[in-house]
Amino acid sequence: MGNIGMPELIMILVLALLLFGPQKLPEIGKQVGKALGEFKRTSNELKRTIEDEMDRATKETPPVEPPPTPPPSGTAPSGSPAGTVETGTTKPS
């Protein structure tokens, strides 16, 4: 579907004049203009609201920290030196 050229626009206006008459045509044009203006205003407001929410969402999101990596297998657990074994016995005093 292409753009409407001058011949097509004249044909539409003549058809509208025949259908609605010269008294109703200015009222219809005014109503169509108001509707288009309201539609444009509403779509701009919606676009602005979406952009504001996207900006707010990116600013409020804290930076993601990577999860801690587990120690490699085969190493001693932290808190006890490597190579020592705890037996759970105590020396007599």
Over residues 18-77, the pLDDT tens digits come to 998 888 988 988 999 999 999 999 999 999 999 999 998 888 766 677 777 877 776 555
What per-residue confidence (pLDDT) applies to 78? 58
In eight-state DSSP terms, residue 61 is: S
CA distance 72 to 85: 20
25, exposed or middle or buried, with CB in 10 Å at 0-12, 13-18, 19+? middle
Boundaries of every domain in the chain: 23-60
pTM of full prediction above 0.95: no
